[in-house]
Amino acid sequence: MVPVVAALLAALQVPGAPESSGGPGILAIEGARILTMTGSPVDSGTVLIADGKVKAVGASVEVPADAKRIDARGKTLIPGLIDALSRLYLYPEELTESTALAPEFRIVDGIDPYAKHTDEVLRYGVTAVHVAPGNRSLIGGTTAVLKVEPQAGTVELVTDCAAVRGQIGVPAGDTNSSLARLTTYAAIRDALLSTRDDLFTRGKYDRDVARYDKKRAEALTKAGGDVVKAQLPERPRKPGTDRTNAVLARVLKGEIPLQIEAYRVADILNALRLKDEFGIPLVLLGCSEGYRIPDEIARRHVPVIVAPVSLSFSGPAPLRYGEHSRANAAVLAKAGVNVALGVGGADGLHSKFVRACAAVAAANGLDRDLALRAVTVNAAEILGASNRIGTIADGKDADLVLLDGDPLSTLSTVEMVVLDGAVAYQKGADR
């Protein structure tokens, strides 16, 4: 494991940040229009921060005398943005790794804490990213949510197991047959069937051990505690451990979701069949043709990370984006699907386009409030990180973005980013 991967810093200070950054003390951001993502906007409100957490938010928050104050009148304050599909912190070679089934691989064991572009991504208001193994593997391992740190060599982990990542029908090149796509579905299904059998075997072993312990206790009691004289039963043999099954067992038990990257209708439907057959929590990723079958996805209550929203932000368009539609997120949301947005960029720097993706989705029919939720609270909920990020609420991480206008306007700029309660970026501070 990369040794720095942990919850390292409660508060960060950045060279050039103003004295009002507050450090580990108390910070008050006053006068902003606050979009908490938990209810109605708070006009001319205050957010009180201490020890890296939000302590209070509202229109009439009492600010302690020793608090350091930031005047945010006329500005808009939102939660830190989340890229639900990022390449930030990933080594380039990870993107080409190929393994058939490796759910035991943890992406946090293969990240680069000295990754480039983190400071640039942070300047655009992105404070957290969801990273995952590459799509060359049928089941590539567990995903993670990381904070975007301004300092090289540090990585703060929000959750190290957001989901088990798999893919159905994602070609390695620009060609892919129907048979090849069906084969990937069948391989994942076989792995889940094997895991289900393994769970049954282990459950039987546990029951056998319980019966053994009972019979052993009865035999010892009858023999007066004399082990030599007691007719002890034979102890059940413990089944072997399979690391693949051990991870997928968590999916079958409903502890973590299976996140399937799928783009075409046939592949999306195959992913939904896995949910139907095994009753597992499922998250769809990519889902370019989801707009063609929104009701099928909605009736199963499967959330979707739509990525990419616009091909302009994700590099050269591969074959799987052939039927891409910018209205995809809007159609899915109107059907009742819980939608998050990911940039799906070719490298980590592309994560800076998160807000632009939300703006594109809104321009193509997604409700504006839902568009902002898709890169904040919805993303946090789908990724299992809503206990810390995604909203401005008491007890949540103080990851905030201050803008000079509407968050979804291309004319608005990020003026300040607060990460874990300290100013990590302020416009003009590095000049």
* CA dist., res. 131 & res. 108, Å (int): 9
Q: How much of the chain, in percent, has pLDDT values that exceed 70? A: 87
Residue 228 has pLDDT above 80, yes or no: no
Region 1-80+390-431: CATH code = 2.30.40.10
- Output the pTM of the full model: 0.87
Domain boundaries, the chain: 1-80+390-431, 81-192+242-389
The confidence band for 216, taking pLDDT boundaries of 50, 70 and 90, is confident
Residue reference for tokens 């997928």: 248
Q: How much is the average pLDDT of 259-285? A: 96
Supply the pLDDT for residue 4. Answer: 37
Say which range, 237-241, 273-277, 427-431, has the weakest mean pLDDT: 427-431
Fold for 81-192+242-389, please state it: TIM Barrel (3.20.20)
Dist CA 69 CA 215 (whole Å): 70
How many residues comprise the chain?
Answer: 431
- The pLDDT confidence band at residue 229, using thresholds 50, 70 and 90, is confident
Please check whether residue 148 is in contact with residue 128, taking contact to mean a CB–CB distance below 8 angstroms: yes
Residue 123 CA to its chain's centroid (Å):
20
User: Among all chains, which residue has been given the structure tokens 């819980």?
Assistant: 338
pLDDT at residue 54 greater than cutoff 90? yes
Higher pLDDT, 15 or 48: 48
Per-residue model confidence (pLDDT) at position 179: 65
Task: Say whether pLDDT at 172 is over 70.
Answer: no
Q: Is the peptide bond before 308 cis (omega within 30 degrees of 0)?
A: yes
Check whether 405 has a pLDDT greater than 80.
yes
Q: At what angle do helices 265-278 and 178-222 cross, to 10 degrees?
A: 10
pLDDT: which is higher, 301 or 312: 301
**What is the Cα–Cα distance from 385 to 177, expressed in whole angstroms?**
37
Q: What is the pLDDT of residue 180?
A: 67
What is the mean pLDDT of the segment spanning 323-345? 95
- The mean per-residue pLDDT over the stretch 268-291 comes to 97
Question: Helices then strands (H, E): number in the chain?
Answer: 9, 18
Residue identified by tokens 């957490």 is 53
Where are the extended beta strands (E) located within 288-420?
Answer: 304-306, 339-341, 400-403, 414-419
Confidence band of 98 (pLDDT split at 50, 70, 90)? very low
Is the model's pLDDT at 81 over the cut of 50?
A: yes
Residue 19 has pLDDT above 60, yes or no: no
Query: Which pLDDT score, from 0 to 100, does residue 241 have?
Result: 77
Q: How many CB atoms lie within 10 A of CB 409?
A: 14
Q: Is residue 169 pLDDT above 70, yes or no?
A: yes
Beta bridge partners, 68, equal 27
Mean pLDDT of the chain: 87
CA distances from 267 to 42, 169, 261, 304, 318 (A): 43, 6, 9, 14, 16
At 107-117, the pLDDT tens digits run: 888 889 998 89
pLDDT tens digits, one per residue of 340-398: 999 988 889 999 999 999 999 999 999 999 999 999 999 999 999 999 999 999 999 99
Is residue 192 left, alpha or beta, with left meaning phi > 0 and alpha meaning psi from -120 to 50?
Answer: alpha
